[in-house]
Amino acid sequence: GAGVSQSPSNKVTEKGKDVELRCDPISGHTALYWYRQRLGQGLEFLIYFQGNSAPDKSGLPSDRFSAERTGESVSTLTIQRTQQEDSAVYLCASSRPAGELFFGEGSRLTVL
Amino acid sequence: QQQVKQSPQSLIVQKGGISIINCAYENTAFDYFPWYQQFPGKGPALLIAIRPDVSEKKEGRFTISFNKSAKQFSLHIMDSQPGDSATYFCAASRGKGTYKYIFGTGTRLKVLA
CB-facing half-sphere around the CA of B34: CA atoms within 13 A: 20
In this predicted structure, the answer to whether residue B71 has a pLDDT above a threshold of 70 is: yes
- Report, as an integer, the average pLDDT of B77-85: 98
Q: Which chain A residues touch B if contact means CB-CB below 8 Å?
A: 4, 31, 33, 35, 41-45, 48, 50, 56, 58-59, 91, 93, 95-101, 103-106
What is d(CA B68, CA B58) in angstroms, rounded to the nearest whole number? 17
Query: What are the pLDDT digits (tens) for A30-73?
Result: 999 999 999 878 899 999 998 888 999 999 999 999 999 988 88
Nearest CA distance, B8 vs chain A (angstrom) = 13
Count CB-CB contacts under 10 A for residue B85: 18
- pLDDT band, very low/low/confident/very high, at B96 (cuts 50, 70, 90): confident
Are the Cβ atoms of A100 and B97 closer than 8 angstroms? Answer: yes
Contacts of B51 in chain A (CB under 8 A): none
pLDDT for A1: 54
pLDDT for A2: 80
Q: Which of B98, B99, B105, B108 to mutate to test the interface with A (most CBs of A within 10 A)?
A: B98
Average model confidence (pLDDT) across chain B: 94
What is d(CA B107, CA A7) in angstroms, rounded to the nearest whole number? 27
pLDDT for A65: 97
Q: Which of B42, B71, B87, B75 is nearest to A105 (CA)?
A: B42
Are the Cβ atoms of B99 and A48 closer than 8 angstroms? Answer: yes
pLDDT for B99: 81
Query: What are the pLDDT digits (tens) for B20-61?
Result: 999 999 999 999 999 999 999 899 999 999 999 999 999 999
Nearest CA distance, B42 vs chain A (angstrom) = 5
pLDDT for B46: 94
* B68 phi/psi in degrees, rounded to 5: -65, -40
In this predicted structure, the answer to whether residue B106 has a pLDDT above a threshold of 60 is: yes
Percent of chain A with pLDDT over 70: 99
Nearest CA distance, A26 vs chain B (angstrom) = 14
Does residue A24 sit in helix, strand or coil? strand
Label residues A46-62 b or e (16+ Cβ within 10 Å = b). bbbbbeeeebbeebbee
Are the Cβ atoms of A105 and B96 closer than 8 angstroms? Answer: no
pLDDT for A71: 80
What is d(CA B77, CA A90) in angstroms, rounded to the nearest whole number? 28
